[in-house]
Amino acid sequence: IVQPAERMAGLPEQFFAKLVGKANARIAQGRDVINLGQGNPDRPTPPHIVAKLQEAAANPLYHKYPPFSGYSFLKEAVALRYKEDYGVELDPATEVAILFGGKTGLVEISQCLLNPGDICLVPDPGYPDYWSGVALAGASMSFMPLREENGFLPDLKAIPRDVADKAKLMFMNYPNNPTGAVATPAFYEECVSFARENSVVMASDFAYGAIGFDGKRPVSFLQTPGAKEVGVEFYTLSKSYNMAGWRVGFALGNANVVALINLIQDHYYCSLFGGIQEAAALALSGPQDCVSELNEVYESRRDALYEALAEIGWRAEKPGGSFFCWLPVPEGYTSERFADKLLQEADVVVAPGVGFGSNGEGYVRLGLLSDENRLREAIARIGRLGLFC
């Protein structure tokens, strides 16, 4: 009786579910597995945010349906954060949509803007959720290779004319998952020009916006002159405030895109639980030292990991942001075969690069989501396999 609709066939396999399955099988055998493969923050939400939710949960107003598109106090709080952190002015009423995590917006924007036959420009390697929305919209993807020699930024001049003509949407993601690359203001200026010349909406995924190293704060796309005319930025509390389980994100910027996303959300959901919105507003408008402390934690983990990598002779560029390290696999291995070897012989889980697109082949992604001792231990175990010199 159950026949999936044709559009379901375009949905990619949940690559990371497979990874978790393999790691769990090893753990079930009693092995001490170090999981550097997933992107789940390991630290708890700051206590003042949790306390606010506990208090707000008792408010009977929040036991009713929340208003469509969410409470204005949360939209005002995120607008204030953008003003303070990036000097960007946002109208909370028209330029902010509240999302169930950035993920929902990344899928919905394709449904809002793409028709069958349209093209969406997608980074390769890139976060697989961009593919899902495009598939559900019945549109097609054109992959923009991210190459090390270009600092993992796409070469917009290399996009063929016929592709640019059919393109209606482009995703970009800096600080980048999986490569750890950061964008420059010049790149974002190029994106605004490309968007204007080709009528392509820009979707900047800024999930790792709060995590930048070596004293450099990542730039927001919305800081670029003209950005709001051509696109939106997806912002989330998942990584910056260790709130991945709370599912709070935003689409910010272009009012027409924000209105479309709000409309589609109004049909799927009302909005987040009011208590979560209140606690999220406190996260954004309250003390921000938790964000800078977290940044320091990731930076010192990164440095500890790269010291350990140097000791075993595994050479790679350090990431400029995000909590991911993108490392080349040794000669003779595919990324999947290498990741399997590390799991079977070193009890270390890493994400094979090919899971992020065909240009991810030749790399694996390691997350800085364990403490420094565990990170060092993982690399020491890999070193004992004698694959690097």
Q: Which residues bind ligand PLP (CB under 6 A)?
A: 39, 101-103, 127, 173, 177, 205, 207, 236, 238, 244, 249
How near is the Cβ of 195 to ligand PLP at its closest, in Å? 20
For CA atoms 41, 44, 46, 51, give the dihedral sign: positive
Q: Which is nearer to ligand PLP, 125 or 274 (CB)?
A: 125
How near is the Cβ of 139 to ligand PLP at its closest, in Å? 19
Contact 364, 351 (CB under 8 A): yes
How near is the Cβ of 162 to ligand PLP at its closest, in Å? 28
DSSP string for residues in 279-332: HHHHHHHS--HHHHHHHHHHHHHHHHHHHHHHHHT---PPPSBSSEEEEEPPTT
**Measured distance CA(251)–CA(303) in Å, rounded:** 33
**Measured distance CA(71)–CA(75) in Å, rounded:** 7
Q: Which is nearer to ligand PLP, 244 or 380 (CB)?
A: 244
How near is the Cβ of 25 to ligand PLP at its closest, in Å? 23
Q: Which is nearer to ligand PLP, 39 or 70 (CB)?
A: 39
Contact 252, 210 (CB under 8 A): no
**Measured distance CA(220)–CA(85) in Å, rounded:** 9
**Measured distance CA(312)–CA(332) in Å, rounded:** 18
Contact 269, 243 (CB under 8 A): no
Q: Which is nearer to ligand PLP, 198 or 204 (CB)?
A: 204
> Which amino acid belongs to residue 291?
V
How near is the Cβ of 130 to ligand PLP at its closest, in Å? 9
How near is the Cβ of 208 to ligand PLP at its closest, in Å? 7
Contact 368, 39 (CB under 8 A): no
Structure tokens at 61: 């107003």
Q: Which is nearer to ligand PLP, 107 or 382 (CB)?
A: 107
Residues in the chain: 389
How near is the Cβ of 153 to ligand PLP at its closest, in Å? 15
Q: Which is nearer to ligand PLP, 198 or 295 (CB)?
A: 295
Q: Which is nearer to ligand PLP, 224 or 236 (CB)?
A: 236
| Closest residue to ligand PLP: CB criterion | 101
How near is the Cβ of 128 to ligand PLP at its closest, in Å? 9
Q: Which is nearer to ligand PLP, 39 or 320 (CB)?
A: 39
Tokens 């994100």 map to which residue?
249
Structure tokens at 266: 């109004």
For CA atoms 3, 7, 13, 14, give the dihedral sign: negative
